[in-house]
Structure 1
Amino acid sequence: MQKIFLLFVFCISLFVSNYAQKNISIGNIEILADSRINNLVSLEKNTDEIPGYRLQICFDSDKRVIDEARNRFLKLYPLTATYVEFNAPHFNLKVGDFRTRLEAEKVKRQIFGEFVICIIHQDLIQLPRLD
Structure 2
Amino acid sequence: MNYKSIILSLSLLLFSVAVFAQEKKGNLEIVKSPMIDLLQERRVYFENNPVEVRPVDKENGTRSTVLGFRVQIYSGSSRNEAYATQARFQKQYKDIATYVSYTQPNYRVKVGDFRSRSEAQAFMREVKNDYPMVFLFTEQVYVYY
CA distance in 2, matches of 1:116, 1:64: 19
5+ residue gaps, structure 1: 1-46
TM-score, normalisation: structure 1: 0.60
CA distance in 1, matches of 2:132, 2:103: 20
Q: Give 1:56's aligned residue.
A: 72
CA distance in 2, matches of 1:117, 1:86: 17
Which amino acid in structure 1 is aligned with residue 142 of structure 2? Q
The one of 84, 95, 107 equivalent to 2:100 is 84
Deviations 1:20-74 (A, max 9, x none): xxxxxxxxxxxxxxxxxxxxxxxxxxx8311000000001111100011011111
Contact preservation (8 Å) 1:58, 1:118: yes
- If you compute each CA radius of gyration, which structure gives the higher value, 1 or 2? 1
CA distance in 2, matches of 1:68, 1:56: 14
In the alignment of these two chains, the number of paired residues is: 83
Q: Percent identity?
A: 29
Which amino acid in structure 1 is aligned with residue 65 of structure 2? E
Q: Give 1:103's aligned residue.
A: 119
Q: Give 1:119's aligned residue.
A: 135
Deviations 1:69-108 (A, max 9, x none): 0111111101000001111110100000000000001111
Map 1:9-48 onto structure 2 (within 5 A).
Answer: 48=64
5+ residue gaps, structure 2: 1-62
